[in-house]
């Protein structure tokens, strides 16, 4: 088994036309190809590298991580002598991925990374998550390296970044008992110790994944007397300083292999990342965007696993004299699973491409000044990354939950039993719509781009993209959907965009937009797949039509609701 | 740091995947239909590679260490040299010649020992215990004899290695034995030994273009381009040796060097001749246990 090779969609997105630009930027037009033995010489060579490395990931995920997942779920981590000890399988997983060189994938080669763009890195995250979504957190926290690379001083970078590839683990400590969705109220105190010329951290963090990591990034209040986000800075704590107590680890519903810790910082020495006061407003926002992309990948990977489970079971299980997959209600569930996975995956890689472009420009800009055109492209990509990320997080995590739910449904009574994997997938899925910002907070982030018309502009761009003649009728249906979307927004706007009613209706508007985006993306995929004229290319037609049909009915439903809604209705819910 | 380069050789073979046998795996005449089976890295040899790489890890801070793969087989056996390079081997040689055809274990070990000799001074030779296509477990020990060096067979674990000695745990039929020796030595590695480490992403990207001249010709790639690449990155050239290159006594190669004569090969279909139904009762299970013990099965 290989979780990369058995999924044609991944190769399909790896060869997306925009990859050409991304790779050239990321590789600085291949300047390293002469002096660095592993640097690619051209775009084709780079894609071949990603392909071959993902094959390693697919192999280890299918044959090591997947095989360990059940035991990891049962055994879980524990705290021994103030240290978090992983379940045996977790430790093995970590070692095997480290030995395969799969930590620090996106870091420049200079810091011992693989210099991979986000697209293949996110694919690796998807593949790892398909095997064990809980472990994907521990592995995925290598994202922290990206924040250090982007914002920390050269000294910190040189000291810490090369360690990531060697398997040093990371964590990001943001949440506190009284600061969850609202990170502006973080209280953990950072004060400067003149005598030792370092910062000192004091206070409590809660719900910290991999809390006992080697390298911990901590959001703390450095400006005494402040109460909002502008008083927060970002710090790096080195575990070797032994100044943090692991108070407990949580007993959770799912992702049981991933330790979630409560930590007490006891005058812990720390280095500041970047500038004071920029902790939340700049660095954490950037880190969170990366982490949300990670949860998107985790969601798609988990959903893929659930789909396979359900499909296999439905083919084998017979009732009323035939395999249950032959019942319309059962194959509808399976077809919808497939379509939702295809829809969120295409959104996942669309988002990753925007993230790639702006991060690559940002990185280039550290070496030379960008041309006016490049600056514009960078801004464009960043804005699109910012607006696609919450949409992705919202839909991918909610769909993963629906798919895990249906996976159990297809299994009937057996699905409710601990013997079947779908039970674990169902529990693991539940966190996806909560951490890295709940679904509600994704709506809060996305509604801005509804209000200022950014999403709509992107929709117009999709509408203008070249498309095969025979696909135009499908596009016409999405254009019709957009007309209903416009009516929804118009109706909501009447309440005033800063009204409580508008907030109440926000999720509906965002979801309607999500359907438009996913439908367009799938249609583009159908188009490119046809152009490739390659039997290896996945079909996207069924998923595309299913998602358009679903989108049409969802948007019609939302329109009815919003048009009938009155301000006084809010009272009914209170 | 000691300047002398520590030389480790791994003898590895590409074999038909006999664990995934389809119905056309055997030819009419009872020989293996190699074309119908995927070619894989012989499993015990992968474990030998791991032990070699573990030695390299342990020694590389005190002296330079080189792990070289020698494989005898058709030119496509270069695949397993690349595979080894993805996991940490430095390079390898494909020993390939029609004149080796029909080699039994004696002729094979003769050719391999000649190839090892050609490399000059060697500290450790690792081989797998046995190959899954022949299952003889003779080649490793015979190579040691021909090289006139000590051998440790059935190695299960590398306990210690230093500049001048190695300690190995061997698996015996009824227990284990710990052996210490100096160099040179040949070690055959048992299937219980540690699994080979995964391919390493960086080694893969660095070495993926490694190939031999025969492969360039077979793939109809431009030889000029490859020559240019090899000039820049010599480690990407997988060398091929033919019979002349290893300075052999030609009498001892291939069919003429193989005293084994195959009389006939039978296609054996295993069927259970005798079966017995045991009821799930205390007394019947006791009977079965007694029978198994007296037959030395358990
Ligand atoms: C397993 C696990 C691992 C975690 N790992 C980490 C980690 O590694 N690092 C870290 O820093 N944190 C971590 N967290 C914390 C996680 O990010 C928070 O739990 C999450 O942000 C929600 O915060 P909260 O739990 O305080 O919920 P609350 O903020 O109290 O939210 C409760 C409910 O109120 C809703 N709500 C809150 N504000 C609004 C609003 N303005 N509009 C609409 N609805 C709102 C929420 O959507 C939610 O439904 C982890 C949590 C868990 C469970
Ligand atoms: C905790 C628990 C307690 C239980 N207690 C009892 C009890 O006390 N007594 C008792 O007798 N049973 C009991 N059951 C069994 C329970 O009633 C069955 O599990 C349930 O009826 C579903 O049957 P199944 O598990 O065989 O699933 P299946 O019938 O195999 O169903 C699998 C899937 O196929 C679908 N499907 C099957 N046939 C059709 C069809 N014709 N059209 C469309 N879709 C179809 C199902 O909806 C489901 O999605 C219990 C089960 C559980 C889990």
3-state secondary structure chain B: CCCCCEEEEEECCEEECCCCCCCCCECCCCCECHHHCCEEECHHHHHHHHHHHHHHHHHCCCCCEEEEEEEECCHHHHHHHHHHHHHCCCEEEEECCHHHCCCCHHHHHHHHHHHHHHCCCCCEEEEECCCCCCCCCCHHHHHHHHHCCCEEEEEEEEEEECCCCEEEEEEECCEEEEEEECCCEEEEECCCCCCCCCCCHHHHHHHCCCECHHHHHHCCCCHHHHHHHHHHCHHHECEEECHHHHCCCHHHCCCCCCCCCCCCCCCCCCCCCCCCCCCCCHHHHHHHHHHHHHCCCC
For residue B268, being part of any structural domain is answered with no
pLDDT given at position A317: 97
Residue B146, domain extent? 6-252
Residues of chain B found within 8 Å of residue A37, distances taken between Cβ atoms:
206, 233
* A1 lies in some domain: no
Within this chain, do residues A209 and A269 fall inside the same structural domain, yes or no? yes
Chain A contact for B208, CB < 8 A? yes
Determine the pLDDT at residue A41: 95
- pLDDT tens figures, A385-408: 999 999 999 999 999 999 999 999
pLDDT > 70: what percent of chain B?
96
pLDDT at A129: 98
Number of domains present in the structure of chain A: 3
Quick check: B168 pLDDT over 80? Answer: yes
Residues of A in contact with B233 (CB under 8 A): 37
Both A271 and A335 in one domain: the answer is no
Residues of chain B in contact with residue A53, where contact means CB-CB under 8 angstroms, are 201, 204-205
Final residue in a domain of this structure, among A249, A280, A311: A280
If asked whether residues A412 and A380 sit together in one domain, one would say yes
Residue B22 lies in a domain: yes
Regarding whether A250 and A216 lie in a shared domain, the answer is yes
Tell me the pLDDT tens digit for each residue of A511-533. Answer: 999 999 999 999 999 999 998 87
Separation of first and last alpha carbons in chain B:
52
Taken as a whole, chain A contains a residue count of 574
Is the CB of A60 less than 8 angstroms away from the CB of B198?
A: yes
pLDDT the model gives residue B295: 83
The region of weakest confidence among A49-53, A413-417, B29-33 is B29-33
Boundary residue ending a domain (A383, A417, A433): A433
Residue A175 CA to ligand 1 centre (angstroms)? 8
Chain A residue with minimum CA distance to B198: A100
Which CATH number fits the domain that encloses residue B146? Answer: 3.40.50.620
Domain membership flag for residue A2: no
For residues A349 and A272, membership in a common domain is answered with: no
Ligand 2 mean position, distance from CA A412 (Å): 5
Report if residue B283 sits inside a domain: no
Residues A176, A314: one domain?
A: no
Per-residue pLDDT at B133:
74
Residue A398 belongs to a domain: yes
Residue nearest to atom 16 of ligand 2 (CA): A413
Residues of A in contact with B198 (CB under 8 A): 56, 59-60, 96, 99-100
CB contacts of A62 in chain B (<8 Å) are none
Residue B123, domain member (yes or no): yes
Reply yes or no on whether the pLDDT at B181 is more than 70.
Answer: yes
Does B281 reside within a domain? no
- pTM (2 d.p.): 0.93
* B200–chain A nearest CA distance, Å: 4
Residues A139 and A287 in one domain: yes
Distance A393 CA to ligand 1 centre (A): 14
User: Residues A75, A117: one domain?
Assistant: yes
pLDDT at B143: 86
Residue B282 falls inside a structural domain: no
Same domain, A326 and A471: no
A453 and A381, same domain (yes or no): no
Which ligand is closest in space to the CA of residue A411?
2
Does A60 fall in a domain? yes
Is the alpha carbon torsion for A429, A430, A436, A442 positive or negative? positive
Which domain, by its residues, includes A74? 8-165+281-433
Are residues B254 and B99 in contact, defined by beta-carbon separation less than 8 angstroms? yes
Whether A67 and chain B come into contact, CB under 8 Å, resolves to no
* Residue B164 pLDDT greater than 90, yes or no: yes
Nearest to A114 among B199, B201, B233 (CB): B201
Partner A contacted by B36 (CB < 8 A): no
Asked if residue A418 and residue A319 are part of one domain, the reply reads: yes
Q: Quick one: which atom of ligand 2 is closest to the CA of A412?
A: 27
Choosing from A412, A433, A454, the residue where a domain stops is: A433
Contact A96 B208 (CB under 8 A): no
Whether residues A503 and A411 share a domain: the answer is no
> Is there a contact between A102 and B201 if contact means CB atoms under 8 Å apart?
yes
In the predicted model, is pLDDT for residue A456 greater than 70? Answer: yes
**Closest Cβ–Cβ partner in B197, B199, B205 for A38:** B205
Mean pLDDT over A260-275 rounds to 97
Asked if residue B216 is part of any domain, the answer here is: yes
- pLDDT of residue B18 exceeding 90: no
Ligand 2 pocket, residue A332 CB under 6 Å = no
Question: Which whole number is the average pLDDT over A295-314?
Answer: 98
Mark yes or no for CB contact B205/A49 under 8 Å: yes
Note the pLDDT tens digit of each residue in A127-176.
999 999 999 999 999 999 999 999 999 999 999 999 999 999 999 999 99
Tell me whether residue A183 is in a domain.
Answer: yes
pLDDT at position A337 is 98
Q: Is residue B177 part of a domain?
A: yes
Number of domains into which chain B is organized = 1
> Residue A208 belongs to a domain with what CATH number?
2.40.110.10
**What is residue B257's predicted lDDT score, i.e. its pLDDT?**
73
Q: State which ligand 1 atom lies nearest to the alpha carbon of A250.
A: 1
């Amino acid at each position: 088994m290989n979780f990369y090779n058995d999924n044609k969609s991944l190769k399909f997105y790896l060869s997306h036309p925009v990859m050409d630009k991304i790779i050239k930027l990321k590789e600085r037009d291949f300047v390293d190809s002469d002096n660095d033995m592993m640097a690619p010489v051209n775009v084709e060579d780079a894609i071949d590298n990603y392909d071959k490395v993902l094959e390693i990931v697919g192999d280890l995920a299918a044959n090591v991580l997947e095989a360990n997942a059940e035991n990891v779920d049962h055994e879980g981590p524990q705290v021994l002598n103030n240290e978090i000890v992983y379940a045996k399988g977790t430790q093995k997983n970590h070692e095997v991925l480290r030995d395969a060189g799969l930590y620090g994938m996106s870091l420049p080669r200079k810091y011992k990374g693989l210099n991979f763009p986000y697209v293949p890195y996110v694919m690796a995250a998807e593949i790892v998550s398909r095997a064990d979504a809980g472990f994907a957190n521990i592995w995925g926290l290598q994202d922290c390296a990206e924040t250090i690379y982007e914002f920390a001083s050269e000294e910190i970078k040189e000291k810490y970044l090369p360690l990531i590839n060697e398997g040093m683990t990371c964590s990001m400590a943001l949440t506190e008992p009284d600061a969850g969705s609202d990170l502006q109220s973080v209280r953990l105190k950072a004060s400067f110790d003149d005598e030792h010329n370092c910062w000192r951290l004091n206070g409590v963090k809660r719900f910290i994944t991999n809390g006992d990591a080697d390298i911990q990034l901590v959001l703390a209040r450095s400006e005494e007397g402040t109460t909002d986000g502008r008083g927060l800075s970002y710090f790096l704590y080195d575990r070797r300083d032994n100044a943090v107590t692991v108070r407990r680890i949580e007993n959770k519903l799912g992702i049981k292999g991933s330790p979630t810790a409560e930590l007490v910082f006891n005058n812990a020495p720390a280095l500041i990342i970047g500038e004071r006061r920029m902790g939340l407003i700049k660095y954490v926002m950037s880190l969170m965007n990366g982490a949300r992309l990670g949860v998107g990948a985790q969601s798609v990977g988990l959903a893929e696993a659930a789909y396979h489970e359900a499909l296999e079971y439905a083919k084998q299980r017979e009732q009323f004299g035939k395999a249950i997959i032959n019942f319309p209600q059962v194959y509808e569930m399976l077809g919808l699973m497939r379509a939702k996975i295809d829809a969120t995956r295409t959104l996942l890689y669309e988002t990753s491409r925007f993230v790639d472009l702006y991060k690559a420009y940002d990185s280039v800009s550290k070496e030379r000044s960008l041309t006016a055109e490049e600056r514009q492209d960078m801004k464009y990509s960043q804005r699109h990354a910012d607006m696609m990320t919450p949409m992705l997080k919202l839909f991918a995590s909610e769909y993963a939950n629906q798919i895990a739910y249906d996976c159990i449904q297809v299994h009937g009574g057996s699905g409710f039993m601990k013997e079947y994997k779908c039970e674990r997938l169902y529990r693991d899925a539940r966190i996806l719509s909560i951490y890295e910002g709940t679904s509600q907070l994704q709506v809060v982030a996305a509604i801005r781009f509804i209000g200022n018309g950014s999403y709509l502009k992107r929709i117009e761009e999709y509408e203008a993209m070249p498309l095969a003649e025979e696909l135009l009728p499908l596009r016409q249906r999405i254009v019709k959907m957009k007309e209903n979307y416009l009516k929804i927004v118009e109706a909501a706007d009447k309440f005033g965009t800063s009204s409580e009613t508008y907030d109440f209706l926000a999720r509906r508007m965002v979801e309607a937009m999500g359907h438009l985006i996913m439908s367009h993306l799938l249609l583009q995929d159908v188009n490119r797949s046809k152009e490739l004229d390659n039997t290896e290319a996945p079909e996207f037609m069924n998923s595309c039509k299913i998602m358009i049909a679903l989108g049409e009915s969802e948007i019609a439903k939302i329109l009815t609701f919003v048009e009938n809604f009155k301000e006084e209705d809010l009272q009914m819910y209170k | 740091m000691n300047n002398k380069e520590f030389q480790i050789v791994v003898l590895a073979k590409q074999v038909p995947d006999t664990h995934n046998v389809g119905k056309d795996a055997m030819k009419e005449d009872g020989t293996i239909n190699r074309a119908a089976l995927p070619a894989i890295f012989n499993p015990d040899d992968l474990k030998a590679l791991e032990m070699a790489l573990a030695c390299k890890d342990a020694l590389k801070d005190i002296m330079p260490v080189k792990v070289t793969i020698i494989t005898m087989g058709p030119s496509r056996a270069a695949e397993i040299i690349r595979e080894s390079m993805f996991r940490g081997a430095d390079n390898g040689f494909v020993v390939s010649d029609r004149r080796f055809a029909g080699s039994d274990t004696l002729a094979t070990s003769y050719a391999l020992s000649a190839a090892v000799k050609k490399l000059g001074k060697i500290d450790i030779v690792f081989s797998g215990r046995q190959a899954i296509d022949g299952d003889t477990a003779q080649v490793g020990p015979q190579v040691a004899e021909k090289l006139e060096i000590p051998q440790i067979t059935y190695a299960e674990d590398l306990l210690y290695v230093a500049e001048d000695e190695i300690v190995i745990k061997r698996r015996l039929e009824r227990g284990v034995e710990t052996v210490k020796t100096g160099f040179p030595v040949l070690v055959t590695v048992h299937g219980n030994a540690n699994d080979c480490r995964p391919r390493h992403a960086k080694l893969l990207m660095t070495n993926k273009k490694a190939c031999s001249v025969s492969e360039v010709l077979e793939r109809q790639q431009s030889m000029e381009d490859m020559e240019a690449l090899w000039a820049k990155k010599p480690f990407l050239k997988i060398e091929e040796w033919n019979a002349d290159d290893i300075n052999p006594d030609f009498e001892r190669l291939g069919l003429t060097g193989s005293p084994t004569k195959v009389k006939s090969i039978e296609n054996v279909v295993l069927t259970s001749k005798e079966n017995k139904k045991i009821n799930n009762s205390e007394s019947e299970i006791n009977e079965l246990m007694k029978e198994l013990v007296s037959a030395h099965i358990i």
